[in-house]
Amino acid sequence: MSPILDIKNLYKSYGTTEILKDINVSIEPGDFLVLVGPSGCGKSTLLNCIAGLEPITGGSISIGGKDMTHVSPKDRDIAMVFQSYALYPTMTVAKNITFGMKVRGVDQTTQDKKLAQVAAQLQIEPLLNRRPGQLSGGQRQRVAMGRALVRDPKLFLFDEPLSNLDAKLRVEMRTEIKALHQNLGASMVYVTHDQIEAMTLATKIVVMKGGVIQQIGSPAEIYNRPANLFVADFMGSPAMNLIPAKALRADDGTRIEITRKSGEPIVLTDTKNRDLPEDVILGVRPEDIADPDLRGSDSTQAAECLIDIVEPAGADTFAVMQLGGKHVTARLHAETTAKPGQPKRLSFDLGKVSYFAPETGLRLN
Amino acid sequence: MTDISMTSAQSQSQTGKIVLRWLLYIALGLFALFYLMPLFVMITTSLKSLDEIRTGDLIALPREVTFDAWRTAWSGACTGIQCEGVRPYFWNSILIAIPAVAISTLLGAMNGYVVAHWRFRGANIIFSLMLFGCFIPFQVVLLPMARTLGIMGIAGTIPGLIFVHVIYGLGFTTLFFRNYYVTIPAELTKAAKVDGAGFFRIFWSIFLPLSLPIIVVTVIWQFTQIWNDFLFGVSFSQAGTQPVTVALNNIVNSTTGVKEYNVDMAAAIIAALPTLFVYVVAGKYFIRGLTAGSVKG
């Protein structure tokens, strides 16, 4: 099947400032693509370029196999949900949803039928005669989704649609969007700065920084094998521990030495990765530093560490310590015996470890 | 004991508050009277006969109420050689003000919409130039405008005066609408574009229905400006197309012999009535519109 969205060598600049540099992304029908990155990374601009709301400086965009590079937004067969919802304030909910059909000259019976269908799907029938000003944030969000759904487009575009909601509602709506995607089987492009949203929703994630794509991959790939230090640091909460270390060759693999403020360095042996340069940055997820009794796999090794801070978070307890001159977070279980200021034996799992070159920040293994 | 002393202290501060409140009202009342004085003199004088004006007190109520002066002002007073009162000129003013207000408001809304939501290269410069237009004194444009009207062949006509007022008002109306429309999120325009609406459709279906407060502000502002204008009226009109302000001046300044104060007063009130009417009807929207932007839609 041909890709539903295919972006080739896209460049975008305002005057002399380059906002997007050589963007290449394509998604298959039914994909949920999430563009994620810190603010100012160009993700929203890219979405606006896909929608045709911003002209592009170079490259091409095709949607559904047709070149749409210079086509106006209304002819791209897309629907978009905005961060502020952008509901028309003077129109009722029903008029908001049918406005697009009215503009395109769809006949009244079809309009009514589709409106009823979408209203039932989103459970907003009681709201149809209200105005946006009389709705709560969550309800507005639903209406904005309804306006997109009624279009039945090839491609849905979402521009940070959940960032104006409170934390609880955000999680609810996130699940709902995911359910919607599964039920419709529609193709979606979704912009967010929230890496948890990206991980939970996406079938494919694009991590961006400074207008450049850092990595494209499935959530698992991005999480387990980040392409560089930026992605490693950005994706995951708490963030991946990035510890400066020395890698020394040994008969049974690579010996990893991590210095400590006091006492002997920690020495771990990695049997899988060989031929590393001497200076590396070791990337370990907090969940790979755990209580020793929990893990028994052959890639785990125990070491004594001095715990500085203990942060109970309900399901887990996070312990913070100093290794290689950095704060390192370990994810321990809730009833852990770790106490601040006291040493504790922790097990390090090097099975999913990442190595990065300190100078370039690129992944080594 | 303590209870009693407490309550007496409380009631003392209560009385203090009431006295202060009354002093405030009295002061405000006095100011209001002071401001209303001229209107009072105008109305009473217009209802007196000439004899009474000559013999009586300026601020006394009329002994005998007569509407003769009003009748004369409306349809009999002489402006130079013609003695038709202000009536024909009043209609001229209406014929000038209504189209000029409507056109300048509509164009201002369009301009504001473009400057705020359809950014193009040089939009800022054009907007700055329009703003600059607001600060050009009337007198400066008189001669070039006279020449322009001559070339266009509408000098001395009512369409000519409408044209002048539209041009001169455009800077203000654009400013009003632009400042109102910049508070409307750009995502609204984007959403409408994705929905398939074009330039005019977005303006008509989304922006205009949102604009009532600022339309009221602009209409009041423009109506007051145009209705009360004297300089353009006297410069670019000829016999038969003069607005009421010019006629009023002629009535007051060109009478010979006895000064008919009652007629002058009545004519002045007639000339001021439409603007008063507009303020009374739309005043509360005016205040609301001026503070618009702080209120979300």
Shared-domain flag, residues B142 and B278: yes
Residue ending a domain, choose from B40, B74, B108: B74
Residue ending a domain, choose from B74, B96, B115: B74
Shared-domain flag, residues B38 and B113: no
The pLDDT value recorded for residue A264 is 83
Rounded mean pLDDT of chain B?
Answer: 87
Residue ending a domain, choose from B45, B74, B103: B74
The pLDDT value recorded for residue A275 is 84
The pLDDT value recorded for residue B226 is 95
Shared-domain flag, residues B37 and B103: no
B window 142-201, beta carbon within 8 A of A: 185, 187-188, 190-197, 201
pLDDT-above-70 percentage for chain A: 98
Q: What are the pLDDT digits (tens) for A169-220?
A: 899 999 989 999 999 899 999 999 999 999 999 999 999 999 999 999 999 9
Q: What are the pLDDT digits (tens) for B109-135?
A: 999 999 999 888 888 898 899 888 888
CB contact under 8 A, B195 and A53: no
Provide the terminal-to-terminal Cα distance of chain A, rounded to the nearest Å. 33
| Nearest residue to B193 via CA among A106, A162, A75 | A75
How far is A306 from A323, CA to CA, in rounded Å? 9
Residue B1: pLDDT band with limits 50, 70, 90: very low
A84 interfaces chain B, CB cutoff of 8 Å: yes
Supply angle C-alpha A327, A329, A166, rounded to 5: 110
The pLDDT value recorded for residue B204 is 94
CA distance A130 to chain B (A): 14
Q: Which residues of B touch A84 (CB under 8 A)?
A: 185, 187
Rounded mean pLDDT of chain A?
Answer: 91
CB contact under 8 A, B195 and A99: yes
The pLDDT value recorded for residue A303 is 85
Shared-domain flag, residues B146 and B236: yes
Name the region of A347 (left: φ>0; alpha: ψ -120 to 50; beta: rest). beta
How far is A80 from A149, CA to CA, in rounded Å? 9
Q: What are the pLDDT digits (tens) for B211-228?
A: 988 898 899 999 999 999
Q: Do residues A156 and A187 touch, judged by C-beta distance below 8 A?
A: yes
Q: Which of A53, A84, A103 sits opposite B195 (nearest CB)?
A: A103
Three-state DSSP class for residue A257: strand
Shared-domain flag, residues B232 and B261: yes
Give the residue numbers spanning the domain of B31: 2-74
Domain ranges across chain A: 5-234, 241-356
The pLDDT value recorded for residue B289 is 61
Q: What are the pLDDT digits (tens) for B13-32?
A: 888 899 999 999 999 999 99
The pLDDT value recorded for residue B5 is 54
Query: Domain A241-356 has what CATH class?
Result: mainly beta
CA distance B22 to chain A (A): 41
Query: For strand A78-81 and strand A155-159, is the pairing parallel, antiparallel, or unpaired?
Result: parallel
The answer to the question of residue B286 being in a domain is yes
- B80: pLDDT strictly greater than 80: no
Residue B297: pLDDT band with limits 50, 70, 90: very low
Q: What are the pLDDT digits (tens) for A231-242?
A: 999 998 899 999
The answer to the question of residue B209 being in a domain is yes
How far is B92 from B100, CA to CA, in rounded Å? 12
Give the mean pLDDT of B43-68.
Answer: 86
Count the domains in chain B. 2
Give the mean pLDDT of A317-328.
Answer: 91
A78 interfaces chain B, CB cutoff of 8 Å: yes
In total, the C-beta contacts within 8 angstroms joining chain A to chain B are 60
Q: What are the pLDDT digits (tens) for A109-151?
A: 999 999 999 999 888 999 999 999 899 888 999 999 999 999 9
Give the mean pLDDT of A275-283.
Answer: 91
A window 122-151, beta carbon within 8 A of B: 133, 147
The pLDDT value recorded for residue B296 is 43
Q: What ipTM goes with this model?
A: 0.84
Q: What are the pLDDT digits (tens) for A240-272?
A: 999 999 999 888 888 999 988 777 888 888 888
Shared-domain flag, residues B136 and B264: yes
Tell me, what CATH number does B169's domain have? 1.10.3720.10
A5-234, CATH topology level: Rossmann fold (3.40.50)
Residue in chain A closest to B196 (alpha carbons) equals A74
Q: Which of B183, B189, B195, B208 to mutate to test the interface with A (most CBs of A within 10 A)?
A: B195
Shared-domain flag, residues B37 and B135: no
CB contact under 8 A, B194 and A133: no
Model pTM? 0.81
The pLDDT value recorded for residue A312 is 92
Q: Which of A48, A50, A68, A74 to mutate to test the interface with B (most CBs of B within 10 A)?
A: A74
CB contact under 8 A, B197 and A103: yes
The answer to the question of residue B79 being in a domain is no
CB contact under 8 A, B195 and A147: yes
Give the type of residue at A316: D
